[in-house]
Each structure stands twice: as structure tokens, then as C-alpha cells.
């Protein structure tokens, strides 16, 4: 790209946007992002972006639909203002768990969100740890899919835990747990789990020895905290100690943080792709910043350099 680099942000996660701009050593683009009195979302760019290589930062945090609409309007405003290229930087991509039909007469919501972003005018997507990597295929534009495993592994290794057990909370997360285990060492354990209903989990059995070992439960996101609490209870019964959890996205919906606070978990490690909820107990939560990683990815995209080097 010959155009100058400019970065704008929605209202979903201003702290992460500021930290990213600190890494980039550049000011955040000036824009009005708010709500009209009638409840409609308002966006107005206050800088010239003609011919620029522009990045729009927006995590799809709660309220998800409001922040999604903000992002769509920011992208549309950039396109109509003649930006040369528009990259949507989405640290947390919402609706990713709705990437397929689980029964008849259901939408494929993740595909619809992908279509909306493309139709609004995004030229490429930069995101982190999609719940289903297959969502990349929903886009007909380039997707740079970053992983948090290297960052989480570095922080786990700093705990100097010996004979570590890396635990997948379900069969679908084995590859994710195995990737982390390859970076931290130790053994692998798998919990067999079924879902009686939406956002409801029931732990059944575990494969692997965790007795007398420090255990780390690995997942891509923590939503209600129910899965983690059940897994931690099972690990405690099997003699694991201490019990940690590591996840990329800390959604902590409803009473998620309270449930984790009451659980046998000793520490929960999450990245700052999403802001922590206000007013909830966070004494067990340790947040790792992904701002340097996202800022480096923006620099590499702008300079047409490889993103693959960031996965090591």
C-alpha cells in the first residue's frame, strides 16, 4: 500500500484501542461514534481518509448487535470517504458459535455476519481465535487469523509449574489443548462432555492422569463459566492442584465471574480481546494484553509483510 496508515475505533473496547495505538506510536483517528436520541447509531469521520490504508478496530462485545452495527457503519463511512483499503480489526468475532445449523429452520449467523462485513465494504479481516476456523471460508476477502496460544503459553511457562497437565474441556478442543501442550510441555487430559441444552454443559468422564499435577484447562472462550466450573470440580475430585484455566476470549456472560469466583479454580488467564464486566469479582482473573500482537499485525499488513511469523 502506498497510502498512509490510519486507524479508527468503535466504542466497544477503547482501552485496547489506546494500547494498540501506543504500540503503533500513532494517534487514533478522530471520529464521532455514538447514538442519536432515537436510538440509532451515529458515525461521522472527522479526518480525511482518501487514499489511506485504514484499519477499523471493534470487538463484538456486549451489546453485540450495537457494536456490530457500529463497525458496519464505520466501514461504510470509510468506503464512501474513498479509503484505499479497509481492514476490519475484530479481536473477538461474535456469532462464531453459530457457524452451522444444529437443527432445522435455523440461520447460519456467522455466515450472515461475514456477508454484512463484506457488503459494508471491508477489504480484509484481522481477528483472533475464531471459535471455528472454518469461518475463514465464509469470507471472499482475505482473513488474517491470529492465535493467542504463544502469548498464553509464555505466561503459563512463567508460573514454573512442573509435570503440568493440559486439559481439554471437551473432545472438540483437543487440537487447541495439544497446541498449548506443545508449547508448555506436560501431559494431555480430555474431559468428555455433553450439552443438554444451549449454554448448558454436563461433564461426564475424563481421560488422562491429573492426580498431584497442576492442571490448566484450555478453551477459546469463557462464556457463562459453566464448562470451566464443572471441569474444575472434576479435576479437584481427581486430585489436581493447583487448577488454572486459559482462554483467549473472556466473555463472562451473566454471572460468569461470580461462578468462577465460587469454583475450585485458582487462576483464570484470559487476553484483553474483550473488556472485563464492571462490578464483578476479578481476583482470580489475570489479563494478558494482545495489543502488541494486533499492532504488529497491523504494521505487517500495511507494509505487505508476512503474518505467519507471528504464529511462532
Residue numbers annotated as active site: 193
The torsion angle over the Cα atoms of residues 242, 245, 250 and 255, rounded to 10 degrees, is -60
Q: How many helices (H) and strands (E) does the chain have?
A: 8, 14
Tell me the C-alpha distance between 9 and 90, whole Å.
10
Tell me the C-alpha distance between 80 and 56, whole Å.
14
Chain mean position to CA 301: 19
C-alpha pair distances (Å), 262 with each of 29, 128, 283:
42, 29, 11
Of 270, 265, 304, which Cα lies nearest the Cα of 290?
270
3-state SS class at 82 = coil
List alpha helices for the chain, DSSP H: 14-24, 64-80, 109-120, 149-157, 174-184, 226-237, 256-262, 291-302
Tell me the C-alpha distance between 231 and 243, whole Å.
10
Amino acid at each position: 500500500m502506498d497510502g498512509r496508515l490510519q486507524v479508527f475505533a468503535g466504542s466497544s473496547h477503547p482501552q485496547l484501542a489506546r494500547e494498540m495505538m501506543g504500540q503503533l506510536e500513532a494517534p487514533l483517528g478522530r471520529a464521532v461514534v455514538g447514538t442519536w436520541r432515537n436510538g440509532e447509531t451515529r458515525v461521522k469521520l472527522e479526518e480525511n481518509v482518501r487514499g489511506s490504508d485504514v484499519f477499523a478496530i471493534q470487538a463484538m462485545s456486549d451489546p453485540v448487535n450495537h457494536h456490530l452495527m457500529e463497525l458496519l457503519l464505520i466501514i461504510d463511512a470509510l468506503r464512501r470517504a474513498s479509503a484505499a483499503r479497509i481492514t476490519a480489526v475484530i479481536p473477538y468475532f461474535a456469532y462464531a458459535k453459530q457457524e452451522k445449523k444444529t437443527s432445522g429452520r435455523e440461520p447460519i449467523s456467522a455466515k450472515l455476519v461475514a456477508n454484512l462485513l463484506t457488503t459494508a465494504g471491508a477489504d480484509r479481516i484481522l481477528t483472533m481465535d475464531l471459535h471455528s476456523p472454518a469461518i475463514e471460508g465464509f469470507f471472499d476477502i482475505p482473513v488474517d487469523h491470529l492465535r493467542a496460544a504463544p502469548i498464553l503459553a509464555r505466561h503459563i511457562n512463567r508460573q514454573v509449574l512442573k509435570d503440568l497437565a493440559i486439559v481439554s474441556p471437551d473432545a472438540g478442543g483437543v487440537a487447541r489443548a495439544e497446541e498449548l501442550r506443545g508449547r508448555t510441555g506436560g501431559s494431555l487430559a480430555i474431559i468428555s462432555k455433553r450439552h443438554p441444552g444451549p449454554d448448558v454443559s454436563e461433564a461426564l468422564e475424563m481421560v488422562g492422569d491429573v492426580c498431584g499435577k497442576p492442571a490448566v484447562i484450555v478453551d477459546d472462550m469463557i462464556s457463562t463459566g459453566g464448562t470451566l466450573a464443572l471441569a474444575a470440580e472434576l479435576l479437584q475430585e481427581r486430585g489436581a492442584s493447583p487448577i488454572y484455566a486459559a482462554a483467549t476470549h473472556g466473555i463472562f456472560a451473566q454471572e460468569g465471574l461470580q461462578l468462577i469466583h465460587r469454583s475450585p479454580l485458582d487462576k483464570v488467564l484470559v487476553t484483553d480481546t474483550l473488556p472485563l464486566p464492571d462490578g464483578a469479582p476479578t481476583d482470580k482473573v489475570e489479563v494478558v494484553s494482545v495489543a502488541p500482537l494486533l499492532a504488529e499485525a497491523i504494521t505487517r499488513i500495511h507494509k505487505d509483510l508476512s503474518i505467519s511469523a507471528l504464529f511462532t
